Amino acid sequence: MKIKKVVFPVAGHGSRFLPATKATPKEMLPVVDKPLIQYAVEEALDAGFTDLIFITGKTKRAITDHFDQSLEISANLTEDKKQLFQQMNNIIPSHASCIYLRQGEPLGLGHAILQAKPVLGDEPFAVVLADDLIDAEKGVLRQMVENYDDNQSSLISVQKVAKQDASQYGMIATNDNKLNMQKLTNIIEKPHPNEAPSDFGVVGRYIFSNHILSFLEKTNPGAGNEIQLTDAIKSLLQEFPVYAYHFDGVRYDCGDKLGFIKANIELALKNKVFGSELLDYLKKRLASWG
Ligand code: UTP
């Protein structure tokens, strides 16, 4: 079955990024010149998704505005500006549509996804966490859709994480260490580094069979007193196959200040207009430190 629906949970507190996120959504923070959520949406469009479901909440209005055709193209604009405004008004192509749902209170990622149930029907769907920015030649969602097509089982993206960071991730166990797609046997939310079942942690790209929703409905608050997606995945994999997918690409945790700054530097260095000037600047700066 072709997957059309993708859920963007964007209703979280963004507390690791205060004060920037007090009144501005974390997902609207720009990496170079584009908000995080736009990178995520473009990745989903490139992978063929057409139904873009945003789970928004308090202080998240700017996300809705961003995808509106809100720039007025008045006659007195220069031709260059008219073109630019036109482009900005057409971030979402006409074959795709945005659906905005509210999470009244940020009770956890699992709870956010559950808000999409009324529009998900019984189809498989993807979930993208916009604060995980992944720089990849082929978008990670596209990589995952191709693998889902072959195999029709839930897929979660994973990467190797440093042992001391295990307590920031959902950490997985699999039955095989060789392939880039392995069957999950266990998953634990934010374990103590000594209790992590492997070196691999989950990052924010998922494709789920619809069964996940009934497990989410039965999931009680877990770590941080939030309804954790990880706990529902743990129940899902007892009854249905779930695979870990090792993607090609570099992921930046842009929900974290340092990760966000790294993403800005790396993507700015790739910028065609000012990348080489930035590199010269950084080299001079480093030289001045001896
Ligand atoms: P995070 O745990 O990174 O987001 O959730 P957070 O809670 O906003 O951040 P901190 O930990 O307080 O800094 C990953 C994604 O899930 C969304 C967030 O908006 C983010 O995009 N989310 C999280 C929700 O939509 N609702 C929630 O209840 C929790």
Q: What is the CATH number of the domain that holds 126?
A: 3.90.550.10
Closest CA relative to residue 152, chosen from 234, 207, 229, 114? 207
Tokens (6 digits) for 243: 């695979």
Would residue 71 count as lying in a domain? yes
What is the distance in A from the centroid of ligand 1 to the CA of 130?
Answer: 10
What is the distance in A from the centroid of ligand 1 to the CA of 79?
Answer: 40
What is the distance in A from the centroid of ligand 1 to the CA of 56?
Answer: 11
pTM of the model: 0.95
**From the CB of 44, is ligand 1 less than 6 Å away?**
no
What is the distance in A from the centroid of ligand 1 to the CA of 10?
Answer: 7
Q: Which residues pair with 252 in a beta bridge?
A: 133
Tokens (6 digits) for 10: 């964007």
- Residue whose CA is at the smallest distance from ligand 1 atom 1: 12
Write out the residue range of the structural domain in which residue 204 sits: 5-255
SS3 category, 36: helix
What is the distance in A from the centroid of ligand 1 to the CA of 72?
Answer: 33
**From the CB of 103, is ligand 1 less than 6 Å away?**
yes
Would residue 276 count as lying in a domain? no
Instruction: Name residues whose C-beta falls within 8 Å of residue 162's C-beta, 6 or more positions apart in sequence.
Output: none
Give me the tens of pLDDT residue by residue for the chain, a chain 290 residues long: 689 999 999 999 999 999 999 999 999 999 999 999 999 999 999 999 999 999 999 889 999 999 988 788 888 888 888 888 888 888 999 999 999 999 999 999 999 999 999 999 899 999 999 999 999 999 999 999 998 877 789 999 999 999 999 999 999 999 876 677 889 999 999 999 999 999 999 999 999 999 999 999 999 998 889 999 999 999 999 999 999 999 999 999 999 999 999 999 999 999 999 999 999 999 999 999 87
What is the distance in A from the centroid of ligand 1 to the CA of 257?
Answer: 14
What is the distance in A from the centroid of ligand 1 to the CA of 264?
Answer: 20
Q: Please choose from 22, 100, 109, 114 the residue to mutate so as to test ligand 1's pocket, defined by most ligand atoms within 8 A of CB.
A: 109
Would residue 273 count as lying in a domain? no
- Residue whose CA is at the smallest distance from ligand 1 atom 3: 255
Closest CA relative to residue 275, chosen from 111, 112, 33, 49? 33
Report which ligand 1 atom has the smallest distance to the Cα of 111.
28
- Residue whose CA is at the smallest distance from ligand 1 atom 22: 12
Would residue 116 count as lying in a domain? yes
Measure the CA dihedral 172/178/183/185, to 10°: -40
Confidence (pLDDT) at 177 = 65
| Domain count of the fold of the chain | 1
Would residue 155 count as lying in a domain? yes
What is the distance in A from the centroid of ligand 1 to the CA of 106?
Answer: 8
Confidence (pLDDT) at 1 = 66
Asked if 38 contacts 81 with a C-beta cutoff of 8 angstroms, the reply is: no
Tokens (6 digits) for 19: 């004060």
Would residue 249 count as lying in a domain? yes
How many angstroms separate the CA atoms of 276 and 69, rounded? 34
Report which ligand 1 atom has the smallest distance to the Cα of 57.
25
Q: Please choose from 56, 131, 257 the residue to mutate so as to test ligand 1's pocket, defined by most ligand atoms within 8 A of CB.
A: 131
Would residue 141 count as lying in a domain? yes
**From the CB of 111, is ligand 1 less than 6 Å away?**
yes
Would residue 97 count as lying in a domain? yes
